[in-house]
Amino acid sequence: MTRTLVLVRHARTEQGNAGGDHARELLPEGRREAAAAGRWLVQEVGAPGLALVSSAVRAGQTWAGMADAGGLGEVEVWSDRRLYNAEPWVLLEAVREVPEAVSTVVLVAHSPGVPALAAGLADEEASDGAAFTRLRQGFGTSTCAVLEHEGDWADLGEGSARLLTVASPRAQE
């Protein structure tokens, strides 16, 4: 079975917050970015079966904006503190725990973990060349990387996926 993984870096945030980094909120521009990402997701990928979301306020707000704009309010959400500023292997561990009945997953978390996971999972030879180039150019806020994997979530690993696209939907508004 083909699995689709969409890796999303949270939208643009305020620089500081009295509650600390975990409590940082989206800026108005970030809310617009999240909405654009949600519309893009539905148009380009379709509705996911599950959203894995970092417990950071900004990640939750990003998913909420995506869900609102994309009509994705019924998508099951797993908020997970492990995803907060996580290393790529921690993010991968969370994805490997996804039930096999779910064919499309969105993971909303942080840089540098999200782009590093995309780069690590992507088989460069099997991936879209333009997408791979875009991944190397940077992974700004609200950037989305779409990967496909043939097999079970539990078998997802280094070089086992095709990178299909890397997009920054805010630029398409």
The pLDDT-based confidence of 169 (bands split at 50, 70, 90) is: confident
Sheet holding 162-167: strands in order across?
76-80, 50-54, 104-109, 2-9, 144-150, 162-167
- Is residue 145 within 8 A of residue 163, CB to CB? The reply is yes
Residue 173 scores a pLDDT above 80: no
Give the CA angle between residues 100, 142, 163 to the nearest 5°. 50
Is beta strand 104-109 parallel, antiparallel or unpaired with respect to 50-54?
A: parallel
- With left for phi above 0 and alpha for psi between -120 and 50, is residue 159 left, alpha or beta? left
Copy the structure tokens of residue 76: 């099951």
Q: What domains are there in the chain, each with its CATH number?
A: 2-172 (3.40.50.1240)
Residue 59 scores a pLDDT above 60: yes
Q: pLDDT tens, 67-118?
A: 999 999 999 999 999 999 999 999 999 999 999 999 999 999 999 999 999 9
Identify the CA nearest to 141 among candidates 59, 40, 75, 55: 59
Q: What is the pLDDT of residue 17?
A: 80
Q: What is the pLDDT of residue 172?
A: 47
Q: pLDDT tens, 120-164?
A: 999 999 999 999 999 999 999 999 999 999 999 999 999 999 999
DSSP secondary structure letters along 124-168: TTTS-HHHHHHHHH---TT-EEEEEEES-GGG--TT-BEEEEEE-
